[in-house]
Structure 1
Amino acid sequence: MATEIQLEQRQGARRTPGLDAPMFRLRWFLLIAVVAPGATPLRAQLIQPNVIVSVRDQKLMFLDNGGNAAVYPISTSKFGLGDRWGSMATPLGTLQVAQKIGDRAPTGAVFHNRRFTGEILQPNTPGRDPIITRIIWLRGLEAANAHAYNRGIYIHGTPEEKTIGRPASYGCIRMKSSDVSALYAQLPIGAIVQISPDHLPKVSRAAKGTLVSAPASAPAPTHAVFTADSSKPGAEKASMTPLAPKTSVAPAKKSDTTAWLRNARA
């Protein structure tokens, strides 16, 4: 039975310190400036889109190119914070989106070693805790999170939705399937992810779980389309393509799932 602990690197419970407080305050200032009155277009282009993860709040904020925000409940590691091998902890600091896996996969699609198995789970399925729906693989940009990519630190969906809102993962950042799908659709390869032990910044335009439409002049977000084999090392070199307009998706039928899996293996 595939479980998250099999998919994430096994790590020990020792906590390691995060970034210095002044460095965090500087990054918070830059991120808040995007949505603050008078923020310049140049600054927004330099640091947008962005994701801020608050370990204290157990929430994730996504800021789009227009400075609009969406906030989602999450779950970080139940083993605390850090990046040491064997710690099973969530790393702090600045990371970026290195790969996106699961494009067009059905909601609840089970992944083992970043490959869709063909199985689909409903939320809170008893006794099951695999990685599902979407995988956003993170790469650390600092010494404090340098092992994040090789440890397999993801933002991903979980069937254990009843645990969302409190630390329950094995190092990754868990989200509800509907929420991780929405984030995946808007977040391009290379986007910055800031993981902080502090509260989320106050943003007046934040809408819980709902992303306000960006201005028409905002750049179209992009992402990479991955097949099953492209989850191997080096897949981050996959080509970038514009996101298609978001449409509602009906629950996947068995035939749809079979077709998706056949195409992924082609």
Structure 2
Amino acid sequence: MTCWTWFGPAAAVALAAATLAAPGAAEARKTVPFTAEGFRPGTIVIRDRERALYFLAGENRAYRYRVAVGRRGKHWFGTAYVKGKYVNPAWSPPADVRRDKPGLPSVIPGGSPRNPMGPRAIMLDRDEIAIHGTNRPGSIGTFASYGCIRMMNADILDLYERVGLGAEVVVTP
């Protein structure tokens, strides 16, 4: 299962404010009570059924973000770890995406409005899977991806600053 292929940091591109904050983004992110025995602060818990990502902040609270998760047959469950963080990542469609959409270009540069990665990507140690922004904000809250976790661009900017390399990511049904 693959979601994206990273081709290195794109040149720094100033993103328009419209791509950073889609309508309703402010309502999507909130601090909520969260009891997570066995997890340390800094852990990301994704509840697939809820289409929600929780960043554990400690003291029984978490930041909750609405997300899009993998569509039928493309989602995954289990544990992964953050292995990289990227600004304006370029995107190359992996083989399974290219099979479904053969007309896609081989690379879409970072910062392009056509780039499905958005302004930030948090790469996991799991077969080209990432938590990233989106150029399709209407997909948030749905089962839409090829395995990646999509976030509103304003939300990935927020999470990107909070999460550290090596952080645990747990995806539950």
- Cα distance, 1:118 vs structure 2: 5.3
- Cα distance, 1:163 vs structure 2: 1.0
Give the distance between the partners of 1:191 and 1:6, measured in 2 at CA.
20
Query: TM-score under structure 2 normalisation?
Result: 0.65
- Asked if residue 137 in structure 1 is aligned to residue 113 in structure 2, the reply is no
- Asked if residue 72 in structure 1 is aligned to residue 75 in structure 2, the reply is no
Partner of 1:101: 86
- Cα distance, 1:66 vs structure 2: 4.5
Give the distance between the partners of 2:140 and 2:3, measured in 1 at CA.
20
- In structure 2, the CA distance between the partners of 1:159 and 1:118, relative to structure 1 (3 Å rule), is closer
Residue 109 of structure 2, aligned match among 117, 121, 125? 117
Give the distance between the partners of 2:75 and 2:3, measured in 1 at CA.
16
Contact kept in structure 1, 2:132 and 2:150, CA below 8 Å: yes
- Aligned AA for 2:67? I
- In structure 2, the CA distance between the partners of 1:176 and 1:69, relative to structure 1 (3 Å rule), is same
- Cα distance, 1:119 vs structure 2: 3.6
Structure 1 residue runs without a partner (length 5+): 9-30, 35-42, 81-88, 103-108, 122-127, 140-147, 198-266
- Cα distance, 1:176 vs structure 2: 0.7
Bigger relative contact order (CA 8 A; separation at least 6):
2
- Superimposed CA distance per residue, residues 132-188 of structure 1 (whole angstroms, 9 cap, x where no aligned partner): 21111112xxxxxxxx2xx20000011100011010001100111000110010000
- Aligned AA for 1:32? T
Give the distance between the partners of 1:171 and 1:33, measured in 2 at CA.
24
Residue 178 of structure 1, aligned match among 141, 147, 154? 154
- Asked if residue 32 in structure 1 is aligned to residue 57 in structure 2, the reply is no
Partner of 1:92: 77
Moved over 6 A (4+): none
Give the distance between the partners of 1:72 and 1:190, measured in 2 at CA.
20
Give the distance between the partners of 1:94 and 1:186, measured in 2 at CA.
19
- Superimposed CA distance per residue, residues 7-26 of structure 1 (whole angstroms, 9 cap, x where no aligned partner): 35xxxxxxxxxxxxxxxxxx
- Aligned AA for 1:134? R
* Corresponding pairs, count: 131
- Cα distance, 1:48 vs structure 2: 2.1
- In structure 2, the CA distance between the partners of 1:191 and 1:67, relative to structure 1 (3 Å rule), is farther
- Cα distance, 1:6 vs structure 2: 7.6
Residue 164 of structure 1, aligned match among 140, 148, 172? 140
Give the distance between the partners of 1:163 and 1:129, measured in 2 at CA.
15
Give the distance between the partners of 1:54 and 1:33, measured in 2 at CA.
13
- Aligned AA for 2:35? I
Residue 4 of structure 2, aligned match among 4, 7, 19? 7
- Superimposed CA distance per residue, residues 98-124 of structure 1 (whole angstroms, 9 cap, x where no aligned partner): 11111xxxxxx46225x9835442xxx
Give the distance between the partners of 1:166 and 1:74, measured in 2 at CA.
7
Partner of 1:214: none
- CA RMSD of superposed structures (Å): 2.8
- Superimposed CA distance per residue, residues 170-227 of structure 1 (whole angstroms, 9 cap, x where no aligned partner): 1100111000110010000111111000xxxxxxxxxxxxxxxxxxxxxxxxxxxxxx
Query: TM-score under structure 1 normalisation?
Result: 0.44
